[in-house]
A and B are shown apart, each in its own frame.
Chain A
């Protein structure tokens, strides 16, 4: 009974490159949430998606960041032209419905050099 899966677990990118983070929700969950945890900070909500729909992206930076959750396959958080300030842990969570009982994945730790 697999939980939320994220890959890669660790990602190193040079400034200006693109980062793609993947999240597969728990089986039977169709709602995905992305959170970012900066060093020494709390988790901050970024975006909430359902299959093929972005429901709320109010926590996403306006530029360089995008997210999708296609009909087939994992949810993708994409960061273009990464900068050092993007270095953080990015957590994905999923829920069976529009709920706040969310189950978290192990996170992707992005390091921008």
Chain B
């Protein structure tokens, strides 16, 4: 498998910053997706990183280190609506490169 590891649950306060980490297997690694999934809904695309470094997109940023097999999603100015599961999905080159492989996700609870 791709040995995707991310925390199961996190809690943060409205207005704060939270970092959700993800580690994965590096062999054959191509790029990494982050998706947001509200309870009972479809995953929605947040970011896709291929190169090392930080990519910022509004309140959400995503970081990738290819050599370390590590990524994080940074959420700033947290809002109550950010309470959701955040799914890390590395992709790998080869015949099954279209297969998104999801971890179990990190359930984020934003509290007042």
Is B102 in contact with A43, judged by CB distance below 8 angstroms?
yes
The smallest C-beta distance from A105 to any residue of chain B, in angstroms, reads 6
Q: Is the CB of B42 within 8 A of A100?
A: no
Report the count of interface residues on B (CB-CB < 8 A).
23
Given contacts A56-B99, A98-B98, A104-B42, contact A42 B105 (CB under 8 A): yes
What size tier do the contact residues of chain A reach?
A: 20 to 34
A33 CA / B100 CA spacing, docked (Å): 10
| Contact mask for chain B residues 5-16; partner A; CB cutoff 8 A; 1 contact, 0 none | 000000000000
User: Any chain B CB within 8 A of the CB of A107?
Assistant: yes
- Is A58 an interface residue when CB atoms closer than 8 A count as contact? yes
- Closest A-chain residue to B30, C-beta based? A100
Once bound together, how far apart are the Cα atoms of A104 and B103, in whole Å?
17
Per the bound structure, the CA–CA distance linking A54 and B41 in Å amounts to 27
Is A65 interfacial (CB-CB < 8 Å)? no
A109 to B91 alpha-carbon distance, docked (Å): 26
Nearest-neighbor residue (CB-CB) of B35 within chain A: A104
Q: What 0/1 pattern do residues 31 to 61 of A give for CB contact below 8 A with B?
A: 1010100001111110010000000101100
Interface on A for B, CB 8 Å cutoff?
Answer: 4, 31, 33, 35, 40-45, 48, 56, 58-59, 91, 93, 95, 98-107, 109
- B binding-site residues for A, Cβ under 8 Å: 4, 31, 33, 40-45, 48, 87, 91, 95-105
11 contacts between A and B (CB under 8 A): A33-B98, A33-B99, A44-B102, A45-B96, A56-B95, A56-B96, A95-B98, A100-B97, A100-B100, A104-B43, A106-B42
